Structure 1
Amino acid sequence: MKTVEPIDIGASLAERAYRDLRQAIVRGEFEPGARLRVDELARRFSVSSSPLREALNRLSEQGLVRILENRGFRVAPLTAAGVSDLARVRLLVECEALRDSMRHGDDAWEAQVVAAGHALGLSERRLGNEARALDDDWSARHRSFHLALYAACTSPLLRELADVLFDNAERYRRWAARHRPVPRRKHDEHQQLLNAVIGREEEKAIALLRTHITRTEQLVAATLHGVSGDGVQ
């Protein structure tokens, strides 16, 4: 008779608290620098303080939360220096992940990338001139497309880092989209990247990804400077 492993309720609660809080921070539901009070979060997410503290500590390791000495937790600030550093690391991690993925990706991976790119394109055509970064459906498809590009990377650590870095960048993108007067149009960028990837044009795909990440950094930094000088605390 097969043994059924007991469910770790504490671990599942901590994972849910982590997932829900991470999503709320990335979506901008908490202002940069906002105090994160455990008791208030416990009521909001219907969990006890223990899994919330575990979630907050995990998020601090990923750069989304700051731990203050004897003063609890705050949402990480958004700064020009921060987005510049983030872009620098994204270029190192994501370009290497894409290169490795293109070298090892099989037909199933390529089909996954094409499907994700098609789904993203459908969303972009539906939205037209609306601010896409603030649309939850577009954001989910955008995330799926980028992570699909790296899905065949043979390094689990690189894939995990790409996931974390993408969410950090998403928080900056969403904030900038709310404050930028003219929305960015990215369909051509995504389509060109998709075409280069499925065409196995490695150097072209890497160059397009570098431009894509750098352009995001430049637009976010310009918005940060325009709104509040050095950033949002």
Structure 2
Amino acid sequence: MTGLSHRRETGMADRADDTTADRPDAGKTMADTTYRRLRHDIVAGKLPAGAKLKLEGLTADYAVGMSPLREALTRLMGDLLVVSEGQRGFWVAPLSLDELDDISRVRALIETEALNAAIRNGDAAWEAALTRAFDDLSAVEATLPQTAEPLEPAVLERWEQCNRAFHTALVAASGSPLLIKLRDLLYQQSERYRRVSLNVSRRRRNVHDEHVAIYEAAIARNALRACRMTELHLARTAEEVRRAMQELSEGQAATAEPRRH
């Protein structure tokens, strides 16, 4: 067996660490990649809320060394997606109805402030980018099944991408990098909650009509209506998530009840 073959068979984690030692910038690149992958898997629910993040398993699953993994987890703590308790390790941040309410309330404040500024500052390029994002989202929403069943994973991912792009385009011209950063953090948090309801079931709610109302008001430069439609949109989404979380909690409680003889 050659030395190269032996290294390949001993695991990707060792290779990542060796590469990092050879090239100082490689560790940063690996940490960035791992951060993005972990963030996606947490938001998508592939790493469930409250799950223990075992470092040895993560190094194997994500083909990463221990140092860039710890850096990625530290960044995720800053995003409020991962929590740590002293020297006991890392966990995926839990979900709660109280946090859902808090995120929804603060996001509405930040999102409408950014949207109001974007409508005031936006130029023709902003309008064009917003229209492209809206058209892409509309094309996906036109293909969604008219049932209450959960979406297929590929369809859900595509819709999430277009939905994220549309809401990002709405506020892109706000002129405030800090406002955008706060808005992005809150969007990410709310997406994690929203996926709970989308992965369980979909109510017969015409989300596309809500997006149309927001888009038309923004393009018309009617900031008052655009912000009001955004507030309603976010409130309806939060209510759907609340129902889904309560249903899941009731189902888990029923399953955990001891059988009576």
TM-score, length-normalised on structure 2? 0.81
Aligned mates of 2:55, 2:171 — CA distance in 1: 35
Aligned residue number for residue 69 of structure 2: 52
* CA contact 1:133–1:174 (8 Å) conserved in 2: no
Code of the aligned partner of 2:57: E
Code of the aligned partner of 1:127: L
* CA contact 1:133–1:139 (8 Å) conserved in 2: no
Among 73, 81, 86, the alignment partner of 2:90 is 73
Give the drift of 1:179. Answer: 2.4
Give the drift of 1:224. Answer: 1.4
User: Unpaired runs of 5+ in structure 1?
Assistant: 1-5
Aligned residue number for residue 28 of structure 1: 45
Aligned mates of 2:203, 2:174 — CA distance in 1: 35
Secondary structure at the aligned position of 1:66 is classed as strand
Aligned mates of 1:191, 1:120 — CA distance in 2: 10
Give the drift of 1:183. Answer: 5.3
Aligned mates of 1:188, 1:157 — CA distance in 2: 30
Q: CA RMSD in A?
A: 2.0
Among 115, 118, 127, the alignment partner of 1:98 is 115
The one of the two structures with greater contact order (alpha-carbon pairs below 8 A, sep at least 6) is 1
Aligned residue number for residue 227 of structure 2: 206
Which structure is larger by alpha-carbon Rg, 1 or 2?
Answer: 2
Change over 3 Å in CA distance of 1:197–1:170 after alignment to 2: same
Aligned residue number for residue 170 of structure 2: 149
Q: Does 1:194 align with 2:215?
A: yes
Which deviations, in whole Å up to 9, do the C-alpha atoms of 1:118-160 show, x marking residues without a partner?
1000001112326459511111001000011111111111111
Aligned mates of 2:180, 2:218 — CA distance in 1: 17
Q: Does 1:85 align with 2:125?
A: no
Aligned residue number for residue 3 of structure 1: none
Secondary structure at the aligned position of 1:200 is classed as coil
User: Unpaired runs of 5+ in structure 2?
Assistant: 1-22, 254-261
Which deviations, in whole Å up to 9, do the C-alpha atoms of 1:157-184 show, x marking residues without a partner?
1111111211111111111122236354
Secondary structure at the aligned position of 1:167 is classed as helix
Code of the aligned partner of 2:239: Q
Give the drift of 1:214. Answer: 1.1
